[in-house]
Amino acid sequence: MSGEASSSNEKDLKFLRIALEVAARSRKNGNHPFGAIIVDENDNILCEGENTVVTGKDCTGHAETNVMRKATNQYTPEELEKSTLYTSTEPCAMCAGAIHWGRMGRMVYALSESGLYDGIGAQDPIHILRLPCRDVFACSDRKFEVAGPFIQDEGWTVHEGFWN
């Protein structure tokens, strides 16, 4: 696994903001405020995923698992290895596993796991699993680029008032 990218670029910020729009739509649709998109090597958005935990009554309905489910049904592993997953918030361990098994080539996120947990507090410790995605990806035998956190203030905005 390669290390953290040192800085973001304008393209990454553009697609992170689109992932944040998906997260805002997820919240508007009655779910947790998380969103993810997959972008190919030519900067085309291949698919997007909202969180559907509440409306789908499925604890695995996270934005990243939903987008990976769509992507692996529509695209080859070779296409996904050349693509980037952009996500509003650092993926949990389950989602990191889905990203790994789906053979995604790169991932960029806005809000860090620690930034999310610091913002929501420990009001419900049963639902907190502190395991940064880089720790999950470090167990992989294949190379994978992880970049983030970037635009954390913008990333937090979609969560404001939700977890109270």
The answer to whether residue 86 sits within a structural domain is yes
11-110-64-35 Cα dihedral, nearest 10 degrees: -90
- Model's pTM, two decimal places? 0.92
Angle at which helix 10-28 crosses helix 63-74, to 10 degrees, equals 110
Query: What domain range includes position 15?
Result: 10-157
Check if 64 is active-site: yes
Out of 41, 48, 50, 64, which one is annotated catalytic? 64
Distance CA 18, CA 57 (A): 25
Reported as a single tens digit per residue, the pLDDT across 19-65 is 999 999 999 999 999 999 999 999 999 999 999 999 999 999 999 99
CATH number of the domain within which 65 lies: 3.40.140.10
The answer to whether residue 91 sits within a structural domain is yes
Domains contained in the chain, number = 1
| Both tokens assigned to 61 | 């309905």
